[in-house]
Structure 1
């Protein structure tokens, strides 16, 4: 007689939190999502007045140590991040949702319910804040232009003597002039970024400044001077785009980029902390 198969130990991976009942009619649509590709369906988990969007994942691949290895691999990190984002995007399209951080994993459904219960008031507050709204991202860049042609080194000959070089004083003057020019351009770009932020904040119900990207993201030929997220009521997209189009005509010294609409990642202050997926 063949012994029965031992069930593979699983953990519960949480993607997002919604208000209880909001996703009841959409459970079948969520189940069609691949999620993290574990073969288990994406599902809803009721917890009092809240509902979590979750998926069963194998413990061997998603416990604390396995997750550390998984997310240290660039390709695997990108795959997980994309899968995580896809589920959050789908849930947010169906109901107001609070996105949870990547790799939010719990021992079982009971621990998820406990965690939601511990932060119930916070989650309900955030859900009230984001209902009927979406996040938009605005980035402002200051073009730096191509790298400057190096100045010729000062010639050893006297300043008024023959030779291809320039005097030490003239050389230093040119260097200082270029430095002042760069500083002035940067100051003008920062002022333009503040004007952009002021206009978009006037349309938003909430705003958040994020850390600007470095040259490894922006490239050497532009500097990131504004990285901001704005929470706008649904239906104000046309107004936002028109305001940015006007700003682009006026603020010709900077580049203005818009992204979205997104799930409200930057305004989800009630996120759950990973409990380490312990026993």
Structure 2
């Protein structure tokens, strides 16, 4: 199917294509309700025993996904959230039926032919990476600290060592608050070390993402935001081991999410991505 002049080809992911996958995902809808289609690379090597690779795509309006429109839309949080959710839903739907290599949100090409040529140019790299992701999924592990409480005014202190002035009493309360917060940070560090040791047994790769801030975390402070690539056979043991191990730490909350399509591992290991044991636009 070709792309009309007023539309672009939006790419969600690269996948091994089979008749079964086409049938299973018939009727799947993408951004703005457009059907999800598959674009293959021209000139696939004859006799290759692997399933041919394809881009999972849909057509999106040029007016909303050209370069200048995207710059404006990325300031529109409601629009951005809708597109991100749909992108994720399509990738997750694909991942329930096959190994999936997610592409970044808003990866678009001028038409299906350009998308197919781009796939051909990266065919071997995609095929190699997909082979490494077979029977693996991604899990996220985050550590949060509760917000520090303001030093309470409990009235005049009595007994040995009690402050003799309101100012000294305030400083004592601040010091106690600081010491309590430092203890919580220590608990978080210990929990992170325990999680890393568990991951060395169950996960094959690890990515450390920047910690989150603002509306994403609410009043809690996010101090660890890691992703692990876990073989399917280890998925439940990994989750259970982490959740059991971190239950002994006070003052922190550990969140384990997944299994997800391997967003954090779509590209080979690079800086910040390593073994757990030790937007692109088409022209």
Specify the TM-score bucket, using the shorter chain as the normaliser: 0.7 to 0.9
- Provide, for residues 160-208 of structure 1, a one-character-per-residue CA deviation record: whole Å limited to 9, x for no partner: 9xxx982544543443343233223212322222212221232101111
Please say if 1:37 is aligned against 2:32: yes
What TM-score do the two structures reach when normalised by structure 1? 0.81
**Match in the other structure for 2:54:** 51
Say how many residue pairs are matched. 256
The match for 2:253 is: 255
Q: 1:110 aligns with which of 81, 100, 113?
A: 113
2:95 to 71, 92, 95: 92
Unaligned runs of 5+ in 1: 1-6, 153-159
Counterparts of 1:198 and 1:111 in 2: how far apart (Å)?
Answer: 45
Contact kept, 8 Å, 1:207 with 1:229, in 2: the verdict is yes
The Cα RMSD (Å) is 2.7
Moved over 6 A (4+): none
**What is the DSSP-based 3-state SS (H/G/I as helix, E as strand, rest coil) of the residue aligned with 1:45?**
strand
Unpaired runs of 5+ residues, structure 2, are 45-51, 156-161, 269-278
Distance between the aligned counterparts of 1:142 and 1:171, measured in 2?
A: 24
8 Å CA contact retained: 1:215, 1:223: no
Displacement after TM superposition at 1:150 (Å): 5.6
Alpha-carbon distance in 1 for matches of 2:90, 2:206: 24
8 Å Cα contact 1:151-1:171 kept in structure 2: no
Structure 2: distance between partners of 1:38 and 1:239:
38
For 2:81, the equivalent position in structure 1 comes to 78
Question: How much has 1:151 moved relative to structure 2?
Answer: 8.3
Alpha-carbon separation, structure 1, partners of 2:57 and 2:26? 10
SS at match of 2:105: coil
TM-score between both structures, scaled by the size of structure 2? 0.80
Once residues 94 and 245 of structure 1 are traced to their aligned partners in structure 2, the CA distance between those partners, rounded to angstroms, is 28
Maintained 8 Å contact 1:23/1:44:
no
Task: State how 1:234-273 maps to structure 2 within 5 Å.
Answer: 234-269=232-267, 273=279
